[in-house]
Amino acid sequence: MNETVVLETERLILRRLTPNDLDDLAALYADPDVMRFYPATRTRAETKQNLDTLIAMYAERGYGLYATVHKADGRFIGRCGLMIQTVHGKEELEVGYMLDKAYWRRGLATEAARALRDWGFRAFGAPRIISLIRPENVPSQGVALKNGMHHGADTVHANLAHRVYAIERETWEGRGGTSDHRGETHVDNSRR
Ligand SMILES: CC(C)(COP(=O)(O)OP(=O)(O)OC[C@H]1O[C@@H](n2cnc3c(N)ncnc32)[C@H](O)[C@@H]1OP(=O)(O)O)[C@@H](O)C(=O)NCCC(=O)NCCS
């Protein structure tokens, strides 16, 4: 099956999800540790439905959540990407990340998040980029802070309290855009 690589960093490849990713994604969504801050784990059938939605989103939006592959061992280790979220009545571009727990605490989510932030600003003209994070989700807040974001406001998302972490375009440009991101970025041209 044709695999569309969207971004590449020092240690990761982000490529479009395909139906072949069902087993890996279902294993991720079935892990209670990974899903600790989500309403529930997902069954295989629920994962299939979600995977179909995520794949359809590439055509609808030109971006989405991607299979995250660890270059060193070639394994599918999570799904990270860009999503649109409505916060306080406004559409915002969000960086999202989820990794297999065997790969936590190596800076990999930060590496993906920075590449996605840079891509979001460069390719989609976003005035700011956010991450919606539950107050209890300290690991995710650590990633957002390392992604240059600050805790802006609070909101309710999916019926749960969330913090809005955000970085404004001016802040990102003021830091030289890609200065803290060492990886190569390859923008997906397949939708043109
Ligand atoms: C959130 C998640 C993606 C972080 O992935 P990661 O690759 O381990 O994160 P990083 O290694 O880049 O960590 C960045 C920073 O976050 C903080 N952090 C990460 N894990 C942490 C933990 N378990 N406890 C406290 N702080 C933590 C630290 O400040 C860390 O920097 P440091 O290691 O230099 O101290 C991962 O925990 C995960 O997949 N969780 C389940 C899914 C999820 O909650 N996704 C986010 C939804 S908003």
Check whether 120 has a pLDDT greater than 80: yes
pLDDT at 179: 43
Please compute the mean of the pLDDT values over residues 151-169 and round it to a whole number.
95
Domain harbouring 51, CATH code:
3.40.630.30
**Alpha carbon separation from 118 to 5, 7, 15, 30, 192 (Å, rounded):** 16, 10, 16, 30, 20
Helix (H) or strand (E) holding 162: strand 160-168
* Phi-psi label, residue 78: left if phi above 0, alpha if psi -120 to 50, beta otherwise: left
Check whether 67 has a pLDDT greater than 70: yes
pLDDT at 177: 76
pLDDT at 178: 60
pTM: 0.93
pLDDT at 163: 98
Q: Is residue 163 part of a domain?
A: no
Tell me how far the alpha carbon of residue 73 lies from the centroid of ligand 1, in angstroms: 21
Q: Is residue 46 part of a domain?
A: yes
Please compute the mean of the pLDDT values over residues 150-155 and round it to a whole number.
95
Q: Choose the residue to mutate in 105, 134, 149 for probing ligand 1, maximizing ligand atoms within 8 Å of C-beta.
A: 105
pLDDT at 175: 84
Q: Is residue 189 part of a domain?
A: no
Pocket of ligand 1 (CB under 6 A): 34, 37, 97-99, 104-110, 133, 137-140, 142-143, 146
Check whether 1 has a pLDDT greater than 70: no
Please compute the mean of the pLDDT values over residues 29-49 and round it to a whole number.
97
Please compute the mean of the pLDDT values over residues 30-37 and round it to a whole number.
98
* pLDDT bucket at 81, cuts 50 / 70 / 90: very high
What's the structural domain count of the chain?
1
- Counting atoms of ligand 1 from 1, which one is nearest the CA of 140? 1
Q: Is residue 55 part of a domain?
A: yes
Q: What confidence tens digit (pLDDT) does each residue in 163-183 have?
A: 999 999 999 999 887 644 434
pLDDT at 186: 47
Q: Is residue 177 part of a domain?
A: no
Q: Is residue 98 part of a domain?
A: yes
Q: Is residue 107 part of a domain?
A: yes
d(CA 120, CA 113): 10
- Counting atoms of ligand 1 from 1, which one is nearest the CA of 99? 39
Quote the crossing angle between the two packed helices 44-61 and 22-29, to the nearest 10°: 120
Mean pLDDT (the chain) is 92
Question: Which is nearest to 9 in space by CA: 117, 96, 89, 83?
Answer: 117
Q: Is residue 121 part of a domain?
A: yes
User: Which domain does 111 fall in, by range?
Assistant: 5-129
**Alpha carbon separation from 188 to 58, 69, 98 (Å, rounded):** 11, 16, 21
